[in-house]
Amino acid sequence: MSLLVVGSVAIDSVETPTDRRDDFLGGSATHFSYAASFFTQVNLVGVVGDDWPEEHTELFRSRNIDVSGLQKVDGGKTFRWTGRYEPNMNDRETLEVQLNVFGEFDPKVPEKFQDARFVFLANGVPAVQQKVLSQAPACQLAVADTMDLWIVEHRETLDALLKNIHGLVLNDSEAKLLTGEENLVTAGLKVREMGPEFVIIKKGEHGAMFFGHNAAGQVEVLVLPAYPTQAVIDPTGAGDSFAGGLMGYLAEQDKHDAETFKTAMAYGTVVASFNVEGFGLDRMEQISREDIDERLAAYRKMLNF
Amino acid sequence: MSLLVVGSVAIDSVETPTDRRDDFLGGSATHFSYAASFFTQVNLVGVVGDDWPEEHTELFRSRNIDVSGLQKVDGGKTFRWTGRYEPNMNDRETLEVQLNVFGEFDPKVPEKFQDARFVFLANGVPAVQQKVLSQAPACQLAVADTMDLWIVEHRETLDALLKNIHGLVLNDSEAKLLTGEENLVTAGLKVREMGPEFVIIKKGEHGAMFFGHNAAGQVEVLVLPAYPTQAVIDPTGAGDSFAGGLMGYLAEQDKHDAETFKTAMAYGTVVASFNVEGFGLDRMEQISREDIDERLAAYRKMLNF
């Protein structure tokens, strides 16, 4: 089952306490697509400038990611992001953002993608996310990511969007900001009342929480820890690769019941644990589905008592 | 299999964003003992003053906690602690500490407790913890808790203690302080190299990590999330009740191999989740072993995919 993702494709530069890399492939939709491509065919909609290195397009193609929806704006420049991580490798500072062509992004979902049943709206302006939804009439599972900026400054359109999506993915501080609740269980349940059937709160190095319902319609709350790794090189894109692993698995299974969601959360966790082990997609390019399944088995064993 | 615990018995006062309670039964050894008493007989060594309410002793006795080692100092006052929790219910400020008789605590392990095979050295001066060990010659599993103050100001005696115990329990910020490492997996493994066979890092609302070895001698790293609860009333004693559930279960099983440890970690997690649902021991006094086992089953199901 193919999966549609719409969001940022970027050129990133990242500084960590011990290293620095410049001008590599990044962006929410990039990390999502690559992660999901281990599980299913991915259709990508995004925008780049004419500074875009063709080799990145080739990388997507090599992963069976359809780039027909990747618009190229002549005379424009690709979205650029530069960030620096604190010694704890969890907190980060954005040093520079050049929105460039992403600032005017008006996503056009190609006709051949419009039968998409699984749709991920990567972090972006809620009004733009909403626009994508109207171009995906066959969508059965629409999941959106969001961020503090939209919660504070685009609250009305975000509230409207929440009523039209099935799932929302956000991090712990965003969940607190959106609900005014400090307890994450309370916050997650409260976001659900704003519209989405299910909510996923990402807690970085502490894992993720799921709020949904089981087959009997009862509320179900799950918490899974992150897979323990010492090799945290670059956490950028961890949340998007988590979402990619999760949605990729759901699309592969063509199901989204509570049990499948739980396994999907575990796959998302494991894929994200690989993503942080290198700058950009470095580590992801070294692994196969077998590596993911092997780590999933270790993760399952760890949680089984 | 009986379990020996040595540590503080206190009178606590706690302020939270929505409530406040004064002068109730607290202390590390108290929370530990009560939690462990669901699993095994507990032998408690501690000290109180002559302001000590006899009803607290009765409570211990009602739980099959042997208080022969609870010294009463005539003319002395019991250890008192007053704290205030931040709105996140994780960070707290100590408003007042009166060490009183605990400041001069010179633990005497009664002869009838000296055959103890499972020993928990609740948070205290490392030199005093060491003194307890020498009074427990039959000990097979000695586990200690510690804190930032001893890491900074009693480092030498702490380092010496680490070579004489089997396990160390500490929280995430303490693990970082002790090792200088920001990555908790690296920190946990490094603490193990300082002596203890196994290390448990407590992460509050985010659960706990275990670093030990399996039957083949290979390093084993486990992470378990906290049990998700909305009803966080007073987190004081969460770590001690976690340790109590864990050690209580190990003593009950009379085993401490890697597989038993994993289940013990789960029991500790579940017991701690009850402990935080009331001030002091309020919630603990309402529950039975059946409630614990029921929540353990839900927790196991949550982690099983």
**In B43-80, which positions are buried (b, 16+ CB within 10 angstroms) versus exposed (e)?**
bbbbbbbeebeeebbebbeebebbbebbbebeebbbbb
What type of residue is B89?
M
Answer CATH for A3-303 from 3.40.190.10, 3.40.1190.20, 3.30.70.2860, 3.40.50.1010: 3.40.1190.20
pLDDT tens digit sequence for B276-303: 999 999 999 999 999 999 999 999 999 9
For residue B88, which residues of chain A lie inside 8 Å, CB to CB? Answer: 182
pLDDT band of B108, cuts 50, 70, 90 = very high
Contact indicator for A147, A158 with CB cutoff of 8 Å: no
pLDDT tens digit sequence for A50-107: 999 999 999 999 999 999 999 999 999 999 999 999 999 989 999 999 999 999 999 9
For residue B183, which residues of chain A lie inside 8 Å, CB to CB? Answer: 89, 230, 232
Contact B209 A224 (CB under 8 A): no
Contact A89 B230 (CB under 8 A): no
- State the number of CA atoms in the 13 A half-sphere of A268 facing the CB: 32
Nearest to A207 among B186, B221, B225 (CB): B225
pLDDT tens digit sequence for A169-196: 999 999 999 999 999 999 999 999 999 9
What type of residue is B120?
F
pLDDT value at residue A90: 86
Q: How far is A228 from chain B (nearest CA, A)?
A: 7
**Residue A215 confidence (pLDDT) above 80:** yes
**H-type alpha helices, chain A:** 28-36, 54-62, 126-133, 148-153, 155-162, 172-179, 184-193, 238-253, 258-275, 289-303
For domain B3-302, the CATH architecture is 3-Layer(aba) Sandwich (3.40)
Percent residues over pLDDT 70 in chain B: 100
Q: How far is the C-alpha of B63 from the C-alpha of A46, rounded, in Å?
A: 64
Structure tokens at B164: 């004489």
Q: How far is the C-alpha of A51 from the C-alpha of B298, rounded, in Å?
A: 53
Contact B305 A209 (CB under 8 A): no
pLDDT band of B34, cuts 50, 70, 90 = very high
Contact A229 B185 (CB under 8 A): yes
CB pairs under 8 A between A and B: 80
pLDDT value at residue B215: 87
CA-CA-CA-CA torsion sign (A175, A179, A184, A185)? negative
**Residue B42 confidence (pLDDT) above 80:** yes
What mean pLDDT do residues A188-215 have? 96
Residue bearing tokens 């670093």? B211
pLDDT tens digit sequence for A235-270: 999 999 999 999 999 999 999 999 999 999 999 999
Q: How far is the C-alpha of A137 from the C-alpha of A115, rounded, in Å?
A: 7
For residue B259, which residues of chain A lie inside 8 Å, CB to CB? Answer: 305
**H-type alpha helices, chain B:** 28-36, 54-62, 126-133, 148-153, 155-162, 172-179, 184-193, 238-253, 258-275, 289-302
Q: How far is B176 from chain A (nearest CA, A)?
A: 10
Beta bridge partners of A80: A11, A98
Nearest by Cα to A15 from A103, A100, A82: A82
Backbone angles phi, psi at A111, to 5 degrees: -55, -40
B222: nearest CA partner in chain A? A302
pLDDT tens digit sequence for A144-154: 999 999 999 99
Three-class SS state of B35: helix
CA-CA-CA-CA torsion sign (B23, B27, B29, B33)? positive
Contact A265 B305 (CB under 8 A): yes
Contact B183 A89 (CB under 8 A): yes
How high is the ipTM of this complex? 0.94
A258: nearest CA partner in chain B? B305
Three-class SS state of A67: strand
For A102, residues 6+ apart whose C-beta sits below 8 A from its C-beta are: A8, A9, A10, A47, A78, A79
What mean pLDDT do residues B234-243 have? 97
Q: How far is the C-alpha of B198 from the C-alpha of B188, rounded, in Å?
A: 9
**Residue B38 confidence (pLDDT) above 90:** yes
Beta bridge partners of A223: A209
**Residue B217 confidence (pLDDT) above 80:** yes
Structure tokens at B89: 């219910």
B17: nearest CA partner in chain A? A182
Q: Is B289 exposed, middle or buried (0-12, 13-18, 19+ CB in 10 A)?
A: exposed
**Residue B101 confidence (pLDDT) above 90:** yes
